[in-house]
A = this chain, B = another copy of it.
Amino acid sequence: MWQQPTSLFTDHYELTMLQASLHSGAAHRPSVFEAFARRLPDGRRYGVLAGTGRVLEGIKEFRFGDEQLRFLSDTKVVDATTIKYLEDFKFSGNIHGYAEGEIYFPYSPVMIVESTFAEACVLETFILSALNHDSAIASAASRMIASAGTRPCIEMGSRRTHEESAVAAARAAIIAGFDSTSNLEAGHRYGLKTVGTAAHSFTLLHDSERAAFEAQVASMGVGTALLVDTYDVEQGVRTAVEVAGPGLGAVRLDSGDLVEQARWVRTLLDDLGNENTRIMVTSDLDEYAIAALQSAPVDAYGVGTSLVTGSGHPTASMVYKLVSRKNDAGDYVDVAKAAKNKVSVGGRKFAVRLLNERGRATEELIGVGEVPASDANDRALLTQFVENGVIDEAFTGAAGVHRATKRHHDSIQEMPGSSRRLQRGEPVIGTRFIDEN
């Protein structure tokens, strides 16, 4: 996925801390770090975890080659002792977490990294980058899917975000239930279904709209989607039907009052004998616009900007905190509690989703210590991804995306119906903390 090792996708201070802790000896203290969000974006009722597979893929490439070491040495980011340590760097610890695609709430321990301080510390920036970006996209995408009901959503926001973010955004959208993406690299990298037909420029390139439609149909077949709003929509629809006939796959509308337009375009298509020609809409849609279009005869939604920017919340604001570490006596100390600053809960966590007899989620139970006895319905939320540095490949690549898509689908089914409401509100289920220490 990356040209070079991923090790420099890292804040300078991770390596400064590494150097100072190697100096004090504390670098080797067994430590537990936890990634979590202190809150959901304002008014959102749940978050969707994404990026886990990318974290695992990135950790595999997280090593310091000659080029990286030369940079760190030449720029004096760290000293010779630290360079020596980094030469052999390979993460050797354990990583547990919520499955990718899982729903999360404030303080859900979505990823738990256990290793030496040194190893867990230097992964911080990369882990947070992947989880914060991808979860922001998946969380927005899941709401769009809820709004769209059974109608397919297509991800087409690549041009509105960084070219690599676009690939990750397409992946996150698919996890949250999108049907397909316009992004070819995402298709290539993760085996995702890609789709796309034509832009206004294609019509403008030709001497007439008819010439453009004829060219597209001749090359792509009548099953293609024709963009009918470059000039006059009614004329565009009529020309499209004349050129492609009753087998025309779809027309695409990219401007104007889509609700009203979809209605009369549907009527016009039906009148022309094109009952099976679908209507696709694509103009700056977000979850609210999709909801507003549910009463209109639309067959598919293309979503761009609002998806890749997290629909107002482009980052999931997760943090990565040291929650426990051993002291010199070899005992684990829950450290986060001690700090008066910025609340976090110390200790290595467990997490369970409580379900009622109908299989509906009722509460998130997070705690430190023994997992309490539970009903048969309850579902433990932590999965092991890495054991002694060995990554479980089942959670990476195309298989990982497929698994995450299923996880999200199943988790949403489990949630109370209120999770599908767009209105601002509290998290859809509450979280209870237990600390037996």
Contacts and interface: CB of A to CB of B under 8 A. Distances in A.
Contact of A160 (B4, B9, B21, B128): B128
A215 B24 contact: yes
Interface residues of A, number: 109
Nearest to A10: B184
A428 B31 CA distance: 53
Contacts of A195: 12
A365 B305 CA distance: 30
Contacts of A12: 182-184, 187, 194-196
Contacts of A58: 163
A258 interface: no
A368 interface: no
A194 to B, nearest CB: 5
Given A184-B10, A317-B305, A205 B21 contact: yes
Interface in A71-128: 71-72, 75, 77, 79, 117, 121, 124-126, 128
- Copies of chain A in the complex: 2
Interface string A179-213: 00011110110000011111111101111000110
A125 B205 contact: no
B163 A15 contact: no
A431 interface: no
Interface string A309-346: 11000110100111001011000000110111110000
Contact of A13 (B121, B187, B198, B229): B198
A220 B16 CA distance: 8
A201 B314 contact: no
A129 B159 contact: yes
B183 A162 contact: no
B117 A132 contact: no
A205 B17 CA distance: 10
Contacts of A197: 13, 16
A368 to B, nearest CB: 16
B202 A20 contact: yes
A68 interface: yes
Given A10-B184, A196-B12, A219-B20, A33 B201 contact: yes
Contact of A162 (B79, B162, B182): B162
A66 interface: no
Given A24-B218, A161-B132, A220-B20, A71 B341 contact: no
Interface string A113-155: 0000100010011101110111000000000000000000000
Q: Shortest 3 CB-CB distances between A and B: which pairs?
A: A12-B196, A13-B196, A24-B215
Interface of A: 1-4, 6, 8-17, 19-24, 26, 29, 31, 33, 58, 67-68, 71-72, 75, 77, 79, 117, 121, 124-126, 128-130, 132-134, 156, 158-168, 182-185, 187-188, 194-202, 204-207, 211-212, 214-216, 218-220, 229-232, 254-255, 305, 308-310, 314-315, 317, 320-322, 325, 327-328, 335-336, 338-342
11 contacts: A9-B183, A10-B183, A11-B159, A16-B197, A17-B199, A17-B202, A26-B215, A126-B163, A200-B322, A207-B328, A309-B314
Given A77-B194, A205-B325, 10 more contacts: A13-B198, A19-B219, A24-B212, A24-B215, A72-B184, A132-B160, A201-B322, A204-B336, A230-B341, A231-B339
